[in-house]
Structure 1
Amino acid sequence: MSRIAIVGNNGSLVLNFRGDMIQAFLRAGHDVLVCAPGLEGTEVERTLRDWGVDTQDIFLRRQGVNPFSDLRTLTALYRTFRAWGAEAVFSYNAKPVIYGSVAGRLAGARPYAMMTGLGYAFTVSTWRARLVRAMMVALYRVAYESCEAVIFQNPDDRALMRDYGALPASTDTAIVRGSGVDTDHFRPVPLPDRPVFLCAARLLAEKGIREYAEAARRVKGHHPEARFLLAGGIDDVVPNSVTRNELEGWEQKGTIEYLGYLDDVRAGLAEASIYVLPSYREGTPRSVLEALSMRRPVLTTDVAGCRETVEPGENGWLVPPRTVDDLAEAMNWMIEHPERWGEMGRASRQLALKRFDVEVINKSIMEVMDLSPSSMAVGA
C-alpha cells in the first residue's frame, strides 16, 4: 500500500478526468490525497471525502509565469506532501506537472507526471507563445529531471519534448493513450436519422472552434437540414479564446446552436450523429473517446493525439488542421452517406473497447507507477 498524492489544476474537473483512476487506486488499497484549486466546499470535495480520499485546496494560477505566486504553489505542495506523508505524486496539466513533480521530489516522494497535451504555447507561433514556450521548456526540464517517469499520451508529444531539449535522456517515459473512457458509463445510444454535428471542447482557437463554425456556415448553405451543435465553456484566461460576441454572432446567423458547458456530455452526444474535433494538437482528446464509446462516427484532425482515435474510412475521417475546406468536405461526405453512420459508429465503439477502455488505461498507469504486481517496463 502506498500514499499517493494527485495534483491537478482544476478542482471542479477532478472527478470527470481522474475519478476512475482514483477509484482504481482505492480498490488496490492505496491512500489518496487530491490537491487542486477550487476544491474547498464543493460537491467534488464532498464526493471525494465520501470515497475516503483526503483533499487539499491549493493556490495555483493556471496561466502565466509569476515567480512569487509559483513559489507559493511550490512551497504549499511541498509542505502538504511532507505533512501527509506522500510516497508517490501523480501530477497532470502543465503547472501541476512542473511544481507537483519538483515539490514531490523535495518532499522525498516518487513523482510521476502525465502530459495531457502541450497547450497554447506549443500550437501557435506568435511572439508571446514563443516566449512562453521557451520558459515552459526550461521548467519542464527541471520537472522531468525530478520524475521517476513521465507518461505521454502519444509518441508525438514525447518526440517534441525531446527535440526541444525539455526531456532528459535519463528520464524514463511511457506511452499511455489518454485518460481512458468508462465504456459502461458512455453506453451506445441510437443514432439520429438526420445530420447533427457536435463539437464539445473548451472554446479556444487551438481546438479549431472557428474552423468548425466557418465550415458549418458553408455546409449549411448546401444542406440547410444539417444542425451544428457546440458545447463548452468560454475561457477568458487563455489568449485567442473564442469571445462571447463571436458566439452570439454565430447563433444569430443560425450557423451554430450553442449548448453552453455540459456537466454531462452524454446528452449532447445522444443528440448528435457525428462528432467533430478540429483541434490543432492534443494529448489524447477525452471528448473523442466519449464519442467513440457512444458509437459515434468522428471527424477530427491528422495531428498528434487525434490521429490515434480514427481509422480513416472505418470509424470516421482525418482532415488537415487549421483548414476549413477539408473539414467542410468531410462534413458534406457524412451528410451524403448516412448509410455509413451505423457501421462507422460500431467501429468507433470497438476501438474504444480495444484501445481506450478506462480499466486498461488505469492498469497501465499503475504499472508505470509500480503500484501493481506486474510492473511494466518503461523506456525511452
Structure 2
Amino acid sequence: MYYKEKYEKKNIILYAGTLNIRKGYADMIKAFVLVAQTYPAWLIVFAGNGEIEQGRKLSEKLGINKQTEFLGWVNGYEKDKAFKEATIFCLPSYAEGFPMAVLDAWAYGLPVITTPVREILDIAKDGKNLLLFKPGDIKSLADQLEKLISNKLLGEDIAKDSKLLASTTFNLETINNEIAGLYEQLLKK
C-alpha cells in the first residue's frame, strides 16, 4: 500500500526482512564498516524482527552504531516511510526463494544490491536492474554499496529499470494473461 505522504530521500541503505544469519544482515554491517568512514552521512537501517540485539552489539563492536538503526518489524505507514526515505535497498541473503522485499524495493523505485538467488536471475540482469555479489563476500558487498553511494546516476538508472521491470512483469494484467494462457494450453490437451 502506498500512502500519499511525500518523504525526502535520505542517505539510507535499507534492509527489510527477518534479521538472521541466513539473511546476511551481519555481512551488511561488516561491509558497511568498509565504507562508513568515507561516507559519514550515510546510515544503514534494518526493518525487521529477529536478531536485533545481536545486530546492535555487532554494529557497536565495529564502531558504526551511530550510523546504524534498527526499526524492528514495520508494516503499513512505517514500512512505506522506510522504503520512501531509503536511497538504496540491500538484501545480502545466503538463500532465498523469490525475495518479496526485492519486489517491494523495485516497486518503490530503489536500486537493489543482492545475491544471485535463482528466481532473481530468471528475471533481472546484474548492472541493469540490480547489482549482485556473492553471498558472504564482504568486500564485494562493500564495493557494490560504494558504487551506488558514489554514483547517483547509476543508482537512478538501475532504479528506473527495476521499477519498469516490476510494473510490467508483476502487474495484475500480466499475471492474469499468463494464467489465461496456461488454462488455454491445458484445455487443448
What TM-score, normalized by structure 2, do the two folds share? 0.81
Bigger RCO of structures 1 and 2 (CA < 8 A, at least 6 apart): 2
% identical equivalent positions: 26
User: Which residue matches 1:210?
Assistant: 26
How many angstroms does 1:319 deviate by? 0.8
Q: For this pair of structures, how many residues does the alignment match?
A: 180
CA separation of 1:325/1:358 partners in 2, compared to 1, >3 Å: closer, same or farther? farther
1:231 CA drift (Å): 0.7
Deviation at 1:313, TM superposition (A): 1.9
Return closer, same or farther for 1:285/1:356 CA change in 2, 3 Å cut-off.
Answer: same
Q: 2:55 aligns with which of 242, 246, 260?
A: 246
Q: Does residue 1:261 correspond to 2:73, yes or no?
A: yes
Deviations 1:254-285 (A, max 9, x none): 24211111013221110101111111121111
Kindly indicate whether the alpha-carbon contact (under 8 Å) linking 1:187 and 1:293 is maintained by their aligned counterparts in 2.
Answer: no
Deviating above 4 A after TM superposition, structure 1's stretches of 4 or more consecutive aligned residues are 186-191, 362-368
What residue number does 2:96 align with? 282
Report the equivalent of 2:164: 350
Q: State which of 219, 226, 229 in structure 1 corresponds to 2:42.
A: 226
1:305 alignment partner, one of 90, 108, 119: 119
Deviation at 1:343, TM superposition (A): 2.3
2:26–2:55 contact (8 Å) kept in structure 1: no
Deviation at 1:305, TM superposition (A): 2.7
CA distance in 1, matches of 2:69, 2:103: 22
> Structure 1's 186 and 244: CA in aligned 2 closer, same or farther, altered over 3 A?
same
Residue by residue over 1:141-199, the C-alpha shift from the partner in whole angstroms, topping out at 9 and shown as x without a partner, is xxxxxxxxxxxxxxxxxxxxxxxxxxxxxxxxxxxxxxxxxxxx45897772x532101
Partner deviation per Cα, 1:231-266 (whole Å, 9 max, x = no partner): 1011xxxxxxx3624334426732421111101322
Aligned to 2:144: 330
Give the whole-Å Cα distance in 2 for the aligned partners of 1:247 and 1:272: 20
1:325 Cα deviation from its structure 2 partner: 0.7
When normalised by structure 1's length, the TM-score is: 0.43
2:70 partner SS: strand
What's the secondary structure of 2:14's corresponding residue?
A: strand
Distance 1:196 1:266 in 2: 14
State the secondary structure of the residue aligned to 2:66: coil
- Any conservation in 1 of the 2:26–2:58 contact (CA below 8 Å)? no
List gaps (5 residues or longer) in structure 2.
Answer: none
Sort the Cα spacing of 1:302 and 1:248 in 2 relative to 1 into closer, same or farther, 3 A: same
Query: What residue is the counterpart of 1:315 in the other structure?
Result: 129
Larger radius of gyration: 1
Q: Tell me which amino acid in the other structure corresponds to 1:349.
A: K
Question: Partner of 1:254: helix, strand, or coil?
Answer: helix
- SS at 1:197 equivalent: strand
* AA at the equivalent of 2:48: G
Contact map agreement 1:206 1:281 (CA 8 A) in 2: yes
- Bigger drift between 244-253 and 206-215 goes to 244-253
Residue 275 of structure 1: SS of its match in structure 2? strand
